[in-house]
Amino acid sequence: MLGRLNHIAIAVSDLGAATALYRDTLGAEVSEPQPLPEHGVTVVFVVLPNTKVELLEPLGEKSPIAAFLERSPAGGIHHICYEVSDILAARDRLKAEGKRVLGDGEPKIGAHGKPVLFLHPKDFNGTLVEIEEA
């Protein structure tokens, strides 16, 4: 069921500084900042040869990462995203095993234009897991 690691998302309070760190200090390829108002974040993609790191800065008043940054002002890994080939089949299998899917359990269109779901960190080793149909 589990496919590629699509990305690691790192919440940051200063996207400019985090982008400079990855671009200038770590020498990675980075994208321009992309505001995603419908997701409450501005994102910069760090392009690695085999996957992506996504640097997320809160955007707007109801950002889903605002509370995380209040607890961890220095930032930190917010979630990891695995690809699945059939998100509804994946959801039903997880639910059948007693794992909690966040929200109403219906996939939403994520930041890459594909259906996504988030899984409860308490059921996944303290890790917020996103699954994305790819």
User: Amino acid identity of 52?
Assistant: K
Burial class (CB in 10 A: 0-12, 13-18, 19+), 40: middle
Q: CA nearest 59: which of 78, 34, 42?
A: 42
Indicate whether 72 belongs to the interface with a copy of itself (CB under 8 A). yes
Indicate whether 44 belongs to the interface with a copy of itself (CB under 8 A). no
Indicate whether 95 belongs to the interface with a copy of itself (CB under 8 A). no
60, 66, 99, 100: residue in contact with a copy of itself (rule CB under 8 A): 99
Q: Specify the residue, 29 or 38, whose C-beta has the smaller distance to a copy of itself.
A: 29
User: Amino acid identity of 48?
Assistant: L
Q: Is 130 a catalytic residue?
A: yes
Per-position DSSP letters for 99-127, written without gaps between them: PPBSTTS--EE-TTSSEEEEE-GGGTTT-
**Whole-number Å distance between alpha carbons of 110 and 43:** 13
Q: Specify the residue, 69 or 111, whose C-beta has the smaller distance to a copy of itself.
A: 69
35, 64, 76, 118: residue in contact with a copy of itself (rule CB under 8 A): 76
61, 74, 103, 104: residue in contact with a copy of itself (rule CB under 8 A): 74
User: Amino acid identity of 134?
Assistant: A
67: number of Cβ within 10 Å: 10
By the criterion CB under 8 A, which residues form the site for a copy of itself?
1-5, 8, 10-12, 18, 21-22, 24-28, 46, 48-51, 53, 55, 72, 74-77, 80, 82, 93-94, 97, 99, 121-122, 124-127
Give the catalytic positions in this structure: 130
